[in-house]
């Protein structure tokens, strides 16, 4: 691993095994549906890329970019849309794909917004969930791993835009980074 970040929380093999299971479950659940996966940039890209390879169904991939963080580690509580969907989702079976749910502010806002566009169904799939940090309720349909209240990086997750490329999830040691 890269030196001076912290300790590994979820290694690559464990991630891939769980994503295999999630892909199988989503494949079963979305038979005969009109599936649109909505990846939330930038954090979801690694998870989404691995997940879609394991969903054995015709599907559409779209992206939204939002910003919910004022600083690198603390939520400002403000969600801004930086890039909207390219596709119409009315009548579609939409599955939001996220890297992490922390306070829930981002997904609480996004679900309200996407529901107002009248999809046939709207569900949420996240790689990591930190339930102890929740400020607003969010119903999560598919969770990779429930994790403790630690700031994590890797597998799409950043600290100051770095470490997204690590193939595993690592707890950031604040003493180790500038
Ligand atoms: O539940 P919340 O407290 O709202 O936190 C979760 C959100 O925070 C992160 O995104 P961020 O805004 O850091 O953007 P990024 O995906 O580009 O890293 C993460 O990717 C989620 O979208
Ligand atoms: O633990 C985290 N790491 C990186 N980005 C995040 N956004 C919310 N929680 C986290």
What is the tens place of the pLDDT at every residue in 90-120?
999 999 999 999 999 999 999 999 999 999 9
CA-nearest residue, atom 13 of ligand 1: 69
Interface confidence (ipTM) of the complex: 0.96
Task: Show which residues are catalytic.
Answer: 102
| pLDDT at 42 > cutoff 70 | yes
What's the pLDDT score for residue 130? 97
- The reply to whether ligand 2 has any atom less than 6 angstroms from the CB of 151 is yes
Compute the distance from residue 67 Cα to the ligand 1 centre, in Å. Answer: 7
pLDDT at 131: 95
- Show me where the domains of the chain are located: 17-151
Check residue 5 and give its pLDDT: 83
Domain 17-151, CATH: 3.40.50.2020
**Against a cut of 0.90, is the pTM above it?**
yes
Look at residue 176 in the predicted model and tell me its pLDDT. Answer: 72
Stretch 14-19: mean pLDDT: 98
Closest CA to 157 of 30, 5, 4, 14: 5
Q: Are 155 and 166 in contact (CB under 8 A)?
A: yes
């Amino acid at each position: 691993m890269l030196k001076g970040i912290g300790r590994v929380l979820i290694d690559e093999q464990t991630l891939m095994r769980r994503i295999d299971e999630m892909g199988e479950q989503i494949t079963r659940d979305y038979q005969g549906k009109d599936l649109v996966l909505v990846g939330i940039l930038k954090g979801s890209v690694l998870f989404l890329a691995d997940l879609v390879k394991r969903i054995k169904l015709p599907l559409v991939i779209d992206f939204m970019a939002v910003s919910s963080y004022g600083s690198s580690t603390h939520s400002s509580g403000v969600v801004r849309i930086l890039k909207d969907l390219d596709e119409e989702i009315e009548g579609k079976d939409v599955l939001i794909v996220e890297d992490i749910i922390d306070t829930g502010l981002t997904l609480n806002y996004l679900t309200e917004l996407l529901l107002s566009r009248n999809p046939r169904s709207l569900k949420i799939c996240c790689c990591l969930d930190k339930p102890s940090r929740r400020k607003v309720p969010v119903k999560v349909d598919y969770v990779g791993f429930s994790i403790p209240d630690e700031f994590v990086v890797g597998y799409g997750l950043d600290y100051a835009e770095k470490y997204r490329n690590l193939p595993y999830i690592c707890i950031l040691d604040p003493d180790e980074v500038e």
